[in-house]
Structure 1
């Protein structure tokens, strides 16, 4: 079986986790701060707050920015549902901005057009969540310029994108956003088994996210409403959650961060090889923006259905029948039943829907061999009847 993505676990990773298992701390020990510092150093950011998932990080990032009932959050339809659900968790309303047909990311022109209408109607978003789909960075400079004009805050959903760059700077430096969120799920660039992280340069936002991560409880005297009564003392000063990362996860994540640059370079090597192997086939390979350096979490092809005599679903199922576990990222969020009940329908975001009708994510991970790549491409040819 060849999956579309797979973690790489080394003896060094195992040793790091075992050291935690034999220590006095399984949670809230030194490993999570070590992981946070590794991400801070890589991103050239000021703060990082690790969580038990990227979904948790998105949720408390929204709360830290004051998102609540009566507010709007906008994001891309071409994403996992968490990018939108985080707004609903806060009691806000959610809407979408269609994608750029080349990058598959939120389109700045579509965003500008929608903002102009929203300004006239009095329903501008409080938060916009651009998603760095497949690891390719969004046009964050354009989104940031629009935020200054229309007054919204920005959370970069970089769940696919640690190790990528935008304008030669690491994704996660938050130059064009308030908060960036990473995911460390096993199929991502580096993994902590499960986990996420919110990165920011804003002291107050970092303090708020850290507070919300752990029940809204603090031992920091400056955050308390009265002086400490003793070294045991703590106060709940906000309604928070149990979104903490364990030291087991932190140790694995910190170990993996040492190989981040290697992993992304290997993904680029494999992606370039796919580009060559697929160049004469009736597929569209991933276009790369000159302003970005993708983390290449995914390698997504689009079938030129007018040039083949088979369907999207038949190609997909033929590859899976060969034990090539391709996937489809993503079913547009607005077409999910839960969102249809809010009034969304087919045709609302045509570029996202067209993309979905043609896309297949084929295997890409650092341990993928050339022989496996060749098998994927030959199987794709056969599936398309070539």
Structure 2
């Protein structure tokens, strides 16, 4: 039986053909497929603008640059996330202030944000960056109100959540529509909902922010109207964060399949709920907060390893021996040596409780229903059930 990794890309013959066609064209980069991908992505998310870039970390960095975050500013981020969410605040000289999370969902909440805002220690709040972990959507409507009341804006870190929906009052929103945020950032790493190999996107409804994002991804270069055709001006330092046409060709092909990919992920998540039910109460899927309608990127379960009499490492190795890969999302970022030195003694019990129990199981569209059963059986055996 093939090894089941926790996540993988779904690349089909038409994806390969799209890339091959791009390779035969005049432009390998900075060509028409970039704008085509951006237009299609804006349409898929409901945002006014979408700005493509090199990867998800570049998307977050560009968002911080566009907001002009810098020394003396603070960006509040959840501790349960990938390193990039916090690091991008540090890239621009701002401080990353860690918010705790709900130990059942792994998400920043209004209560944990309110507590983090009490630790700004005189810094100006520039942004709050909730992470839509696994594809579940944080309470963006309330988080936005709290961010605004403290003088900042919301930037959604949404690489896991393409296709996810959420309820905000009487409105159903789509992640990336930026109805409650200044910007939302995405990643197209191979394990994400759509893949370009590496790649990222920032969506926004703000014309000024969109223009800054486009300028900053290309070295800060601006071509003055009516100037010499070779002329460009650089008023501020930018970066080479462009996404090539070759990868945009793959992105366009993948984006056309978003509805199918999303539907299959929903089907697999429902099948997991049934397959894992006999393992309760030792094992249960991570909770979805009220109002979140996710397309799950990660199938994360919470396991009472102590009650099972097994360490997480023992479970991971036993499942690997049965051909099933797993992963941990995530080690709390506030416990990393760099941030531990910046915030000695910081304790975030929700994040630490989440980390102690979480394990991500295989989830990707090419999985068969029988694969879910196989994962459930491997987990039961690994736990001695």
TM-score (norm 1): 0.95
Q: What corresponds to 2:136 in structure 1?
A: 136
**CA deviation after TM superposition for structure 1 residue 116, in Å:** 4.3
**Contact 1:115–1:124 (Cα < 8 Å) also in 2:** no
Q: Give the paired residue count.
A: 377
1:163 is paired with a residue whose SS is coil
Q: What corresponds to 1:174 in structure 2?
A: 178
Deviations 1:102-127 (A, max 9, x none): 32111211111332454xx4335211
Q: What corresponds to 2:313 in structure 1?
A: 313
Matches within 5 A, 1:71-90: 71-90=73-92
1 CA distance for matches of 2:344 and 2:241?
31
2 CA distance for matches of 1:284 and 1:247?
42
**CA deviation after TM superposition for structure 1 residue 204, in Å:** 0.4
Matches within 5 A, 1:28-39: 28-39=30-41
**CA deviation after TM superposition for structure 1 residue 312, in Å:** 2.0
1 CA distance for matches of 2:217 and 2:84?
17
The yes-or-no answer on 1:7 pairing with 2:9 is: yes
Structure 2: runs of 5 or more not aligned: none
* Residues 1:219 and 1:291: Cα distance change in structure 2 (over 3 Å): same
**CA deviation after TM superposition for structure 1 residue 339, in Å:** 1.6
2 CA distance for matches of 1:116 and 1:236?
39
**CA deviation after TM superposition for structure 1 residue 232, in Å:** 2.1
**Contact 2:220–2:236 (Cα < 8 Å) also in 1:** yes
2:254 is paired with a residue whose SS is helix
**Contact 1:182–1:196 (Cα < 8 Å) also in 2:** yes
Matches within 5 A, 1:34-53: 34-53=36-55
Matches within 5 A, 1:363-378: 363-378=362-377
1 CA distance for matches of 2:349 and 2:379?
26
Matches within 5 A, 1:1-386: 1-116=3-118, 118=120, 121-167=121-167, 168-221=172-225, 228=227, 230-281=228-279, 282-345=282-345, 348-386=347-385
**Contact 1:53–1:183 (Cα < 8 Å) also in 2:** yes
2 CA distance for matches of 1:81 and 1:306?
28
* Residues 1:94 and 1:116: Cα distance change in structure 2 (over 3 Å): closer
**CA deviation after TM superposition for structure 1 residue 220, in Å:** 4.6
**CA deviation after TM superposition for structure 1 residue 72, in Å:** 1.0
Larger mean CA deviation between 21-30 and 290-299 belongs to: 290-299
2 CA distance for matches of 1:324 and 1:141?
38
2 CA distance for matches of 1:310 and 1:370?
27
Deviations 1:13-37 (A, max 9, x none): 1111111100110000111111111
Deviations 1:226-278 (A, max 9, x none): x51x2222222220000000001100001100111111111110011110111
Deviations 1:201-222 (A, max 9, x none): 000000001100000011252x
**CA deviation after TM superposition for structure 1 residue 169, in Å:** 1.7
Deviations 1:162-195 (A, max 9, x none): 1111122210000111010010000000011100
**CA deviation after TM superposition for structure 1 residue 344, in Å:** 3.9
Q: What corresponds to 1:224 in structure 2?
A: none
**CA deviation after TM superposition for structure 1 residue 306, in Å:** 4.3
**Contact 1:335–1:344 (Cα < 8 Å) also in 2:** no
**Contact 2:72–2:123 (Cα < 8 Å) also in 1:** no
1:102 is paired with a residue whose SS is coil
Aligned Cα RMSD in Å? 1.3
1 CA distance for matches of 2:297 and 2:110?
22
TM-score (norm 2): 0.95
2 CA distance for matches of 1:55 and 1:290?
28
1 CA distance for matches of 2:91 and 2:157?
16
1 CA distance for matches of 2:117 and 2:319?
41
**Contact 2:136–2:164 (Cα < 8 Å) also in 1:** yes
